[in-house]
Structures are given as C-alpha cells and as structure tokens.
Amino acid sequence: MNYRPRRSVLYMPGNNDRALEKAKSLEVDALILDLEDSVAPEQKSEAREKLRAAVKERGFGKREVTIRVNALSSPWGEDDLRMAVDAAPDAILVPKINAAADLEAPRA
C-alpha cells in the first residue's frame, strides 16, 4: 500500500479567482476546492465552471486536488458531480453521506 501523509490541507472556495490562483503557489500538500458551503447558491454555476477550468489546467503542481461537490440531493449535486468527473481531480468529496443509498442515482 502506498501511504501519502498530508501535513496541510487547505479548503479554497471554488468561486474565488484570486484564491484559486494563489493555491498554485501555496506550500500545502493538498487542496480541497469547494463548491458547497463556501459558495452562495447564485454563484454555484459560475464556480463550477471556474473549477472545471482550473483543475483541467493542471496548474497545482504536486498538490493533491479534491473537488468538494454539493450534496447529491441538492439542486446542484448532480451537475457538480458530472463536472468533477470531467475535470478529473485526484479525489471527489461528496458531503452529507449517511448511508450507501445516499450515493445511488435517483430513478425517474
């Protein structure tokens, strides 16, 4: 097993251009780029596209990059998850999971 210790992990709001740019030079082991609590509802769509571009650019060096999406039961969760899969970060953090059923796709 390959163990990777993380001494410092920094949450960054996904809608803040300045913070996303600064994250490229910070001496941290990992970044969690947030679409959930740090982004106001009216800014979620714009933040999603900013994160897609930032992560696909691969400008964060050796820092581990995680995208924290909104809860899948929220109005933004499914779009966030699609974007995150497309952007291909090192990990995707899905909040508010209490049971395996919370990850199942809704049936129409």
pLDDT tens digit string along 5-40?
A: 888 999 999 999 999 999 999 999 999 999 999 999
pLDDT 10s digits, 34-83: 999 999 999 999 999 999 999 999 999 999 999 999 999 899 999 999 99
Ordered by where they begin, the domains of the chain are 9-95 (3.20.20.60)
Name the strands in the sheet holding 9-13, side by side, starting at the edge strand that comes first in the sequence: 9-13, 30-34, 64-68, 91-93
Band (pLDDT 50/70/90 cuts) for residue 97 is confident
Average pLDDT over residues 70-99: 93
Closest residue by Cα to residue 86 from 69, 103, 71: 69
Closest by CA to 50, choosing from 94, 1, 87, 95, is 87
pTM metric for this prediction: 0.89
Name the residue among 43, 64, 51 with its Cα closest to residue 19: 51
SS3 91: strand
Q: How confident is the model at residue 106 (pLDDT cuts 50, 70, 90)?
A: low
